[in-house]
């Protein structure tokens, strides 16, 4: 992956120096509030290696977000396929994120996501990018709205990877953004 630069961030592939942060954002109770699992260090290391390989393979994925001024990794933002979610059509591309809590509310996710949307629509030529979250995850859906995404109630779904033992986490809301709507929003912002 060729690193991308935003005003305050560098979006890049994962490096070994990021392992502690990757583990933290995958095991922290506050960060993982809307997930039915927590990863121990070994599982987080394995997942980071998997995510890093995806990025090397296709040039996009859940990439590390680093504060350019300090070199501090704060979490991830990126685009990835949804092949493992069989209720979504083949070829669906998702934008997603996860940051350590001390970096919430500073606009980092929106800033990085805007760069990924531009990459998805301009470089990859995608027609649509989606995002989804647990129904009650208002922090994430607020970001989706800031990005200009529209809720699609007909597309809401029960996430197949959430076990029945966590019924409050099963239902996910789906947001969509078409390239046409993204271009119109971009043009209106000028």
To the nearest 10°, the Cα dihedral for 76, 78, 83, 87? Answer: 90
Task: Tell me the percentage of the chain whose pLDDT exceeds 70.
Answer: 98
Q: Is the pLDDT of residue 62 over 80?
A: yes
Domain count, the chain: 1
Specify the CATH number for the domain of residue 109: 3.40.630.30
Q: Is the pLDDT of residue 22 over 90?
A: yes
Of the listed ranges 6-10, 35-39, 176-180, the one predicted with least confidence: 35-39
> What is the structure's pLDDT at 159?
94
Residue 8 belongs to domain spanning: 4-189
> What is the structure's pLDDT at 36?
85
Question: If you write DSSP's letter for every residue of 89-152 in order, what string do you get?
Answer: PTT-EEEEEEE-GGGTTSSHHHHHHHHHHHIIIIIS--SEEEEEEETT-HHHHHHHHHTT-EE-
State pLDDT tens for residues 73-118.
Answer: 999 999 999 988 989 999 999 999 999 999 999 999 999 999 999 9
Q: Is the pLDDT of residue 174 over 70?
A: yes
> What is the structure's pLDDT at 46?
96
Distance CA 162, CA 181 (A): 31
Local confidence band at 35 (pLDDT 50, 70, 90 cut-offs): confident
């Amino acid at each position: 992956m060729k690193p991308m630069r935003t005003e305050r961030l560098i979006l890049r592939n994962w490096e070994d120096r990021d392992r502690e942060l990757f583990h933290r954002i995958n095991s922290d109770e506050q960060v993982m509030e809307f997930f039915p699992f927590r990863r121990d260090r070994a599982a987080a290391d394995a997942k980071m290696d998997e995510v890093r390989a995806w990025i090397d393979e296709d040039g996009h994925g859940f990439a590390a977000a680093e504060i350019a001024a300090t070199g501090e990794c704060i979490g991830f933002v990126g685009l990835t396929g949804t092949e493992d979610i069989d209720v979504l059509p083949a070829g669906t591309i998702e934008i997603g994120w996860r940051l350590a809590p001390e970096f919430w509310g500073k606009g980092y996710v929106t800033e990085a996501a805007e760069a990924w949307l531009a990459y998805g629509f301009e470089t990859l030529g995608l027609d649509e990018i989606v995002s989804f979250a647990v129904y009650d995850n208002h922090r994430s859906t607020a970001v989706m709205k800031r990005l200009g995404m529209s809720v699609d109630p007909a597309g809401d779904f029960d996430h197949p990877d959430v076990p029945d033992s966590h019924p409050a986490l099963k239902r996910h809301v789906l947001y969509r953004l078409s390239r046409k709507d993204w271009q119109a929003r971009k043009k209106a912002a000028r």
